[in-house]
Amino acid sequence: MAKSVLVIGGGPAGLGAARILGRLGVPTILVEKEDRLGGSPVLNSYYTLIPRKLKPEQVLGPYIKEVESNPNVQVKLKTELVACKGEPGSYKVTLSNGETHEVGAIVVATGFEHFDPRRKGELGYGLYPDVITNLELEQMFSKEGRLYRPSNGQLPKRVAFVFCVGSRDRQLGVTNVHCCRYGCALSGLQAMEIKQRYPDVDVFCYYIDVRTYGTWEYPFYWAPQEQYGVRYIRGRIAEITYSPADGRLRVKHEDTIVQRPAEVPMDLVVLVLGMEPSAGTKKVAKILGLAQDPNSKFLIPSEESGSNIVSNKPGIFIAGACKGPIDIESSLSEGEAAGAEAAVFVGAKVTV
Amino acid sequence: MAIHERSLVEPERIVRKEKLVIDGVDVSGDWNLIILPRVINDYDLDFAKEIINSPDGKTITQCYQCSYCTASCPVHNYWDERFNPRYFIYLAMLGLIDELQKRADVMWRCVSCHKCTHRCPKGVLVEEVLKVILRTMVKKGLIDEYPSKKFDKFFTESVLEYGRIEDGELLFGWIEKRGYNVVKDPILRKPIPFLGETPEWLKQLVMKPIKSMNISFLALKTKHMLFHPKTKSWNRFKQVLRKVMQEEGAIT
């Protein structure tokens, strides 16, 4: 019988890997440090996912159901990897619940975490209640079903999206020189969701570039402008202040098209957060000896392989947001590819 | 008080007052000079709304500032770079009126070649949108009407009066209206060409076609100038036409 495979992380990439391994009949151990599967989209109550505008339960529900019911997959919640010894083909792993297992291959899918905007003090997050994150806006929709200003509970007249918060930035110890990839598209989607419900609210997107790459260009950049009148203003917000006179915020920036400084009143400011490797990703990289980007600490694929799911250690595959910003559907497919690679590596005899 | 690097400060931002009191403190004398900030304090979104809601201006929302239009624009490229349709659209979308007004002197100079509209990758009807921006500015009293509109009105009046285009009346009437001294014969009260003041450009403009005309055509023109041919029943028709045009708002 083939050796088993350890999948670390129960988010989209880990679920993709565990599901394909289960389907191929490979004994699989899935460890997840939280108390339920689904990863960030489920744990953080995302509202609508880009690019197909589906709900997290629609996308991840079938994966969770199949992984939990497949007898080949053992799901271990509230469990983390503690130590790993041995060599490729027979890794001896110790888990936080005291168990030890011998596995043939490992799929690392430990994911990302959202940038903490308190590290950009000039943006006033935590200081002014009406400065919120795009994650909080998602939760406003998913949990409360309405848009409001946290300071007074009323509908804002103007909403500003501040792009690239904690992305493309090497200031203040922030080493996130990468682009978050999802921010422009999600902001376009959130702006449309606001305009669909409240057509009289004016929405502004402050950008440096708009990077709705590939097929995302029309649905998440053109449509918000053309169909909903969302305004895109070129200029990076450098400071957010509060005016006690009218109780509104001021977004300070240079409009780089007009080439003039601007301080424009806004009622609600949404910070579009960047992505960073999760604490788990950094920890697992240390335990397994995986190569990391010196700046961002994201995992980096093997230099010899053209495929980005192959790590620098034989038998260890990396998938999803642990190696850089990625969208959910790509995370799922990378997980599935990593799972299939792991099955091949442990010599699984597949009969379907 | 002197301003260092005055060339960097637009004259309209410099305020100098004989007597100046700020927060109850008299700062007249040396401290009587203020340079107004360049900061944009707010957008005028009602201005943009008017353009977006008009049938010929609604494509303004499609602009993503690639500047394909401006790069194609002959007015921008060969006349004055301050004429920039892409920039006018951006300013109008945010309602940055003061910036639009800074270019009021060039904004009317579109020659309607429609290169911008034909080439725009986003399908913005650039030329139409620009006209809507100007129309809205005129309506709100933010820009003077296009100078050639004055000639258009004079032209319309002349046609309404005679029922046809009277070249001589039009030409000399117009230069008289512009303040030049025109000499007229004492009997028919018709202007005599080249006797009074005539602008040099007009002399050239008139002499060029006259030189190439044949004698009989020139004689006909002179005859028409002295004795206007009548359009049949024009007086009655004129009254009806004037009434309709007034109702339509085409004339006042």
- Read off the pLDDT of residues B131-142 as tens digits, 9 standing for 90 and up: 999 999 999 999
Under 8 Å between Cβ of A2 and A27: yes
Q: What are phi and psi of B16, to 5 degrees?
A: -125, 125
Q: Which two tokens stand for residue A68?
A: 């939990």
- Whether residue A329 is contained in a domain is answered as yes
pLDDT confidence of residue B229? 78
Domain that holds residue A328: 4-114+275-345
Neighbours of A231 (CB within 10 A): 20
**Which residues of chain A make contact with B38, given a CB cutoff of 8 A?**
260-261
- Whether residue A352 is contained in a domain is answered as no
Question: Low-confidence residues of chain A, pLDDT below 50?
Answer: none
Domain boundary among A273, A294, A326: A273
Do A311 and A264 lie in one domain? The reply is: no
Quickly list H helices, chain A.
Answer: 12-23, 40-43, 56-69, 134-139, 183-197, 217, 223-228, 279-288, 328-345
Answer whether B42 touches A (CB < 8 Å). yes
Half-sphere exposure of B6 (CA within 13 A, CB side): 9
Do A41 and A165 lie in one domain? The reply is: no
Do A180 and A222 lie in one domain? The reply is: yes
Q: What is the DSSP code string of A252-305? A: EEEETTTTEEEEEEESEEEEEE-EEE-HHHHHHHHHHT--B-TTT--B---SS-
What is the rounded CA–CA span in Å between residue A277 and residue A37? 19
Using the beta-carbon criterion (under 8 Å), do A258 and B99 form an inter-chain contact? yes
What is the rounded CA–CA span in Å between residue A256 and residue B117? 25
Using the beta-carbon criterion (under 8 Å), do B122 and A222 form an inter-chain contact? yes
Do A170 and A244 lie in one domain? The reply is: yes
Q: Which of A231, A257, A261 sits opposite B38 (nearest CB)?
A: A261
Tell me the average pLDDT of chain B: 87
Do A266 and A121 lie in one domain? The reply is: yes
E strands of chain B, at which residues? Answer: 14-16, 21-22, 25-26, 33-35
Using the beta-carbon criterion (under 8 Å), do B90 and A232 form an inter-chain contact? no
Q: Which two tokens stand for residue A63?
A: 């994966």
Answer whether B82 touches A (CB < 8 Å). no
Q: Which residues pair with A54 in a beta bridge?
A: A49
- Whether residue A131 is contained in a domain is answered as yes
Answer whether B44 touches A (CB < 8 Å). no
Is residue B1 scored above 70 in pLDDT? no
- Whether residue A226 is contained in a domain is answered as yes
What is the rounded CA–CA span in Å between residue B70 and residue B92? 16
Domain boundary among A250, A273, A296: A273
Among B45, B49, B54, B102, most A C-beta atoms within 10 A, so best to mutate, is B45
CA-to-CA separations, B242 to A262, B155, B167, in angstroms, rounded:
50, 14, 21
pLDDT confidence of residue A2? 57
Answer whether B97 touches A (CB < 8 Å). no
Do A97 and A123 lie in one domain? The reply is: no
Is residue B24 scored above 90 in pLDDT? no
CATH number, domain with residue A109: 3.50.50.60
Do A158 and A216 lie in one domain? The reply is: yes
Q: What is the DSSP code string of B5-47? A: TGGGS-GGGEEE-SS-EETTEE--STT-EEE----B----HHH
Do A159 and A257 lie in one domain? The reply is: yes
Q: Which two tokens stand for residue B102?
A: 């800074």
- Read off the pLDDT of residues B201-233 as tens digits, 9 standing for 90 and up: 777 877 887 788 888 888 887 888 777 777 888
Q: Which of A202, A257, A263 sits opposite B39 (nearest CB)?
A: A263
- Whether residue A150 is contained in a domain is answered as yes
Q: Which two tokens stand for residue B122?
A: 């986003």
Do A124 and A178 lie in one domain? The reply is: yes
- Whether residue A37 is contained in a domain is answered as yes
State the count of interchain CB pairs (< 8 A) between A and B. 47
Count up the domains in chain A and report the number.
2
Do A76 and A224 lie in one domain? The reply is: no
Do A263 and A130 lie in one domain? The reply is: yes
Domain boundary among A273, A294, A310: A273
pLDDT confidence of residue B162? 83
Under 8 Å between Cβ of A207 and A233: yes
CA-to-CA separations, B32 to A141, B7, B25, B28, in angstroms, rounded:
54, 20, 12, 5
- Whether residue A157 is contained in a domain is answered as yes
Do A258 and A293 lie in one domain? The reply is: no
Q: Which two tokens stand for residue A266?
A: 């806004």
- Whether residue A290 is contained in a domain is answered as yes
